[in-house]
Amino acid sequence: MNINEIAFGLFGDYFQNRRAKFVSVRDNLIKARIYVPVEMWLSNAAFYSAIGVIFALFLYLLMKVMLSVILKNGFSFGLMDLIFIPSCILIAFISVFFGFYFLPVIKTWERRGKIEELLPYAIGYISSMAAIGVIPYEIFKKLSEMEENYGEVCMEAKQIVRDVELLGFDFITALRNLAVVTASPQMRSFMQGAVTTALTGGEMGAYFISAAKMYMEERRRKYSDFITMLGLLAEFYVVGLVVAPLLLMVVMSIMCFLGTASLSVLAAIVYIVIPLGSAAFIFLVGLYS
């Protein structure tokens, strides 16, 4: 019997009876393509949280024993232990459980970024196939085979192929299903537009071509905004983390030589202000990219 079965045996009934309360977790598991039932996922979360609590208590007792040996004051429990032990238990349990709870959200966010990064190019491929008369389902089937070029978009297309060929849904229903479970709002909008076009009697090929133009234009606008923002951040970096610290270092060096300033201020600029400022700059660039 593996760990999943042990965890489900201990906590499965509890989470099965409360399945309706964890619909958001189930949706995020599906969007993150983590194919684990929500009851088993939360059972694992509770099981590993219990292990985390035991490990935290073990570390606390080990540290207490080591301190008692080093200080030679004997091993005993006091009032502070009554405060620290419940705190360690609570922090360990919450940290591990909510780590499991929010991991699908993080994975969904990661997949969303990967999908939306390549989606305009994938739609361009779809539109080029539509322009030469390939039927829509065959377009998505071809797209599902091009994982090397289109990454997570290809994985989304595979959901359509699976629904049609394995589960027996029609193509329009498969598009609807993908619109529900995709991690990307842009992909959802594209799928919903395709479904609406098909149901209203429109030409899906024409829709794909117009969508390709729209998404590529949006992509160009996003890159233009990013370049503008990057220019502003670069100016901030040069002024705030190159010129100003350099000027301060020169002034502080002279003041330290004259004996009117401490080397600790200069060290703080070199070892704290500049590294933290550079890390913040990298974070901001990653945030806007």
**Per-residue model confidence as pLDDT tens digits over 143-194:** 988 888 888 899 999 999 999 999 889 999 999 999 999 999 999 999 999 8
Instruction: Read off the pLDDT band of 75 (50, 70, 90).
Output: low
- pTM for the complete prediction? 0.75
- The pLDDT score that the predictor gives to residue 174 is 92
CA nearest to 261, candidates 269, 252, 270 = 252
Instruction: Read off the pLDDT band of 103 (50, 70, 90).
Output: very high
Phi-psi label, residue 21: left if phi above 0, alpha if psi -120 to 50, beta otherwise: alpha
User: How far, in Å, CA of 172 to CA of 183, rounded?
Assistant: 19
- The pLDDT score that the predictor gives to residue 78 is 63
User: How far, in Å, CA of 164 to CA of 175, rounded?
Assistant: 10
Decide: 274 and 243 in contact? Cβ < 8 Å.
Answer: no
Q: Using alpha carbons only, what angle is made at residue 221 by residues 190 and 194, rounded to the nearest 5 degrees?
A: 10
Q: Using alpha carbons only, what angle is made at residue 156 by residues 152 and 158, rounded to the nearest 5 degrees?
A: 110
Would you list the domain boundaries of the chain? 3-111, 113-218, 221-288
CA nearest to 87, candidates 57, 44, 67, 42 = 57
**Per-residue model confidence as pLDDT tens digits over 261-283:** 677 777 777 788 888 888 888 88
Say whether pLDDT at 65 is over 80.
Answer: no
Say whether pLDDT at 77 is over 80.
Answer: no
CB atoms under 10 Å from CB of 143, counted, come to 23
Which position has the higher pLDDT, 67 or 44?
A: 44
What average pLDDT does the chain have?
85
- The pLDDT score that the predictor gives to residue 163 is 92
Residues 6+ apart with CB under 8 A from 11: 42, 43, 46, 47
Instruction: Read off the pLDDT band of 76 (50, 70, 90).
Output: low
* Arithmetic mean of pLDDT, 3-32: 86
- The pLDDT score that the predictor gives to residue 259 is 72
- The pLDDT score that the predictor gives to residue 108 is 92
**Per-residue model confidence as pLDDT tens digits over 107-136:** 999 999 889 888 888 988 888 888 888 888
- Residue carrying structure tokens 């539109």: 127
- The pLDDT score that the predictor gives to residue 237 is 84
Say whether pLDDT at 36 is over 70.
Answer: yes
Strands (E), the chain: none
* Arithmetic mean of pLDDT, 229-254: 82
